[in-house]
Amino acid sequence: MSTLSLTSAFTLLLKRDLTLAYRRRAELVNPLLFFVLVTAMFPLGIGNDPILIQKVGPGVVWVAALLAALLSLDAMFRSDYEDGSLEQFMLSAHPVSILVLAKVLAHWMVTGLPLFIAAPLLAMMLNIPNQAIPTLMLTLVLGTPVLSLIGSVGVALTVGLRRGGVILSLLVLPLFVPVLIFATDAVNTAAVGIPTTAQISILGAMLVGSIVLAPAATAASLRISLS
């Protein structure tokens, strides 16, 4: 098996998932719409105190991003499982973990990337200081792929269940909490002018660890679900 053939398989699977997502534009918009609505409506529930909104703003953005990512996770392998494509992936001559990584990347491009693009406007609406917005964007770049990678393991374990959404939430939400904690703390720290090297380094380590471990764990979970 040549490197070119593996690269071609990765690229073709990525293009396929992006094309299917584009054809289902209604589902494509749902996570972004959820993210925007939750973030926009939150100040209405806590009042118009700008200091309070500024304090809770980073947490609101990240909780909304986390839930928006969770909202779209179940679809990562569902259609492939229903039409039999997933079994073909498992029988492929290419490493299943590489194919899984292509699907995770497609999921992030469909969900995480739109959230990243919308975040600056919502940050200004939540009165997050200008000096903290670059840190917010950096945490989203590092953190949202981790959500997709960790979530893929939970999706793989529950893909064969008819109503796996609740079980999926119970599986992955505890694993999402460290990302939420360090990302929110980084933005709050940047807002008061303190360096955020420690938090950003931890998020970067989480991303690297997830890229290395999650695809193999997802591939093993898919084999268990399809066995």
Tell me the residue range of the domain where 109 lies.
Answer: 3-226
pTM of the model: 0.89
Can you give the pLDDT at residue 1? 39
Can you give the pLDDT at residue 62? 94
Instruction: Convert 168-182 into a string of H (helix), E (strand) and C (coil).
Output: HHHHHHHHHHHHHHH
Can you give the pLDDT at residue 135? 95
Can you give the pLDDT at residue 80? 83
The answer to whether the beta carbons of residues 76 and 151 sit under 8 Å apart is: yes
Cα–Cα nearest to 159, from 218, 210, 110, 215: 218
Total structural domains in the chain? 1
Q: Write the pLDDT tens digit of every residue in 15-59.
A: 988 888 888 777 778 888 999 998 888 888 887 788 888 888 899
What single-letter DSSP state applies at residue 94? Answer: S
- Distance between CA atoms of 132 and 129, rounded to whole angstroms? 5
Task: State whether residue 193 is helix, strand or coil.
Answer: coil
Can you give the pLDDT at residue 143? 95
Can you give the pLDDT at residue 131? 92
DSSP H helical segments within the chain, as ranges? 3-23, 25-46, 50-73, 75-83, 85-90, 96-110, 112-125, 133-158, 165-191, 197-226
Can you give the pLDDT at residue 213? 94
Cα–Cα nearest to 216, from 171, 152, 172: 152
Cα–Cα nearest to 150, from 135, 131, 136, 171: 171
**Distances in whole angstroms, Cα of residue 15 to Cα of each of 18, 106, 138:** 5, 8, 26
Can you give the pLDDT at residue 4? 54
Q: Residue with structure tokens 């990512």?
A: 69
- Show the low-confidence residues of the chain (pLDDT under 50): 1-3
